[in-house]
Amino acid sequence: MDITTMEADVRPRRAMRLAGFSRVATGRLDDAAEEVGRIFCPHELVPLRGATGDFYARHNCAAYDGISVNYVAYGGSVSIDPGCLERFFLLQIPLAGSARIRTATRDLPTAPGVTASLLSPTLPTRMAWQDDCAQLILLVGRQLVEQRAAALAGKPVRPVEFDPAVDLATPAGQGLHAQVEHLVDFAEQLGPDRRLPPLAAADLREGLLDALLNGQRHGLSAAIEIFAGRAESLPCALRRARDFLHANATEPLDLADLAAAAGTGIRALQLGFRRHFGTSISEMLLDVRLAHLHARLKTAPADARIIDIAFELGFSHLSRMASAYRAKFGETPSATLRRMS
């Protein structure tokens, strides 16, 4: 039976996504392992003992600058052993069949509309895809996720390990699923011969990173909540101080004015920032200004001068600004400006 016939057999049970982005379509086990391995990473692919149904593999992939969205389906039931992914994170959303994910600490069943899996690059993983399993898979580069997590947490870049279970019945799980579906829809509308517009690519990437890092639990979740001031009910003085920083981010920082706006002393304010936000006043101001700079660069004309925008936003040390910007957004200010042009 050839691959076209095998896919026709299962087509009534599910709609294949990203059909115009076909990368692998084969009924041969060895070819599937080799070809899919080139796109993701080398892995062992073995039919499960006692599995029924004809084997086939289908992989459709739309890739966009550090992120790709994929439709992967295996006929019958197979065991997949990629070990550690190393270079990327994988969000796997079941569309048909079922899968069981085994990491060092979890044995996780997944099923359509119930549970998805989120694999981290440093955790060894084995999987069993069962009963003609098909999944939408989001691949996000490791560096992109870890740099953004560090910026959100106010910490140096370090490995990030997610809880592998994504509950698709919760608002966070549904939101993440919707982000992936939106990217799939966008890719299908564009087709394989057109690039994702830079502004749309940036918006989709920001939405996905936010849904992953703020919606799913991982090793830096607590630090991100502290840095963002969500970990506990903030004292009114700190809330007023934070709001003052956001409203006056482009002005020179005057601690006396900030303390007056907050209604407390300078020293109490400094200690409060450390305790409740896990950062200093100046570090929070830098983070706010970087967000303003990113927003300005996304709408700036191609001939805009980054140095002029930076000075308008209160940056005086341009090399420090560029380093902090790269840590927060995973690229240089000039790269953002070029992509948006």
Distance of CA 334 to CAs 91, 307, 338, Å?
30, 10, 6
Q: Quick check: 1 pLDDT over 80?
A: no
Are 83 and 209 contained in the same domain? yes
Residue 219 binned pLDDT confidence (cut-offs 50, 70, 90): very high
Tell me: do 192 and 239 sit in the same domain. Answer: no
Q: Domain range for residue 303? A: 229-340
The mean pLDDT of 55-65, rounded to a whole number, is 93
pLDDT band (50, 70, 90) for residue 3: very low
- Percent pLDDT > 70 in the chain is 93
How far apart, in Å, are the Cα atoms of 1 and each of 5, 9, 30, 54, 74? 6, 11, 17, 8, 15
pLDDT band at 6 (very low <50, low <70, confident <90, very high): very low
Domain boundary among 202, 223, 244: 223
β-partners of residue 92 are: 117, 137
Distance (Å, rounded) from C-alpha 320 to C-alpha 334? 14
Tokens encoding 55: 């084997």
What average pLDDT does the chain have? 88
pLDDT tens, 65-83? Answer: 889 999 999 999 999 999 9
- Model confidence at 314, in pLDDT bands (50, 70, 90)? confident
Pair 294, 156 in one domain: no
Say yes or no: 54 and 170 in one domain: yes
Of 208, 223, 238, the residue at which a domain comes to its end is: 223
Judgement on whether residues 254 and 273 belong to the same structural domain of the protein: yes
Residue 233: predicted pLDDT? 66
pLDDT tier for residue 295 given thresholds of 50, 70 and 90: confident
- 190 and 298 both lie in a single domain: no
Same domain for 194 and 251? no
CATH number, domain of 198, equals 2.60.120.10
Least confident of 3-7, 144-148, 286-290: 3-7
pLDDT, tens digit (0-9, with 9 covering 90-100), for 84-135: 999 999 999 999 999 999 987 789 999 999 999 999 999 999 999 999 999 9
Taking residues 237-246, report their average pLDDT.
91
In CATH, what number is assigned to the domain containing residue 309?
1.10.10.60
> Which residues contact residue 142 at a Cβ distance below 8 angstroms, ignoring those fewer than 6 apart?
86, 87, 88, 89, 121
* Judgement on whether residues 205 and 244 belong to the same structural domain of the protein: no
The domain tally of the chain equals 2
Instruction: Say whether 118 sits in a helix, a strand or coil.
Output: strand
Of 183-192, 305-314, 324-333, which range is least confident?
Answer: 324-333
Q: Are 23 and 97 within one domain? A: yes
* 108, 248: one domain: no
Return the structure tokens found at 252.
């020179």
Domain shared by 207 and 234, yes or no: no
- Together in a domain, 202 and 308: no
Domain boundary among the residues 200, 223, 246 is at: 223
Q: How far apart are CA 66 and CA 143, in angstroms?
A: 9
